[in-house]
A = this chain, B = another copy of it.
Amino acid sequence: MRTRYKGTPKAVRALGAFVALQRAADSVIAATQEEIERAKLTPSQFGVLEALLHLGPLCAKDLARKILRSKGNLTLVIENLEKSGLVARTARADDRRFLTVDLTGKGRRLIAGMFPRHARLIEESFGVLTPKEQEELRRLCRKLGKAQG
């Protein structure tokens, strides 16, 4: 079953690339799903922990931008992570509108323990591409992603 679009060659080319792009992204995400479920985390929760591990403490708004979710959603995600004792929120002294979110010891241990396996799963997924192809894919995707919002 193959999707076929009518239209100009330009449109066919763009749409074909778009469908492939979506499916590729989904298939890699699917490859990491099981691991995240096993840790009793939602994808959003995992995304927050991962961002904090690699970037250090962040405010809710930055986290929302990082994991591509709404601000309102982040309130809940952070709340649930806090209930699980994986992150802590502290008001920022210089501007009390901001809440700085950071990993607790428990949270850091969890995500740091998961990450190597997570990285390996993604590495395996991308293993069908040569290093050069991976770099080219990244370049093309960055060009595409940067052009919009």
Q: Contact residues of A with B, CB < 8 Å?
A: 1, 3-5, 7, 10-11, 13-18, 20-31, 51, 54-55, 62, 66, 68, 116, 119-120, 122-123, 125-129, 131, 133-138, 140-145, 147-149
Contact = CB atoms under 8 A, between A and B. Distances in A.
Nearest to A118: B15
B123 A20 contact: no
Contact of A28 (B18, B26, B30, B136): B18
A93 B135 CA distance: 51
B119 A3 contact: no
A24 B136 contact: no
Given A26-B68, A28-B21, A123-B14, A141 B149 contact: no
Given A3-B54, A11-B123, A119-B5, A17 B138 contact: yes
B20 A138 contact: yes
Q: Is the interface of A mostly helix, strand, loop or mixed?
A: helix
Interface centre among A10, A15, A62, A145 (most CB of B within 10 A): A145
Contacts of A30: 148-149
A13 B122 CA distance: 10
A21 B119 contact: no
A31 B141 CA distance: 15
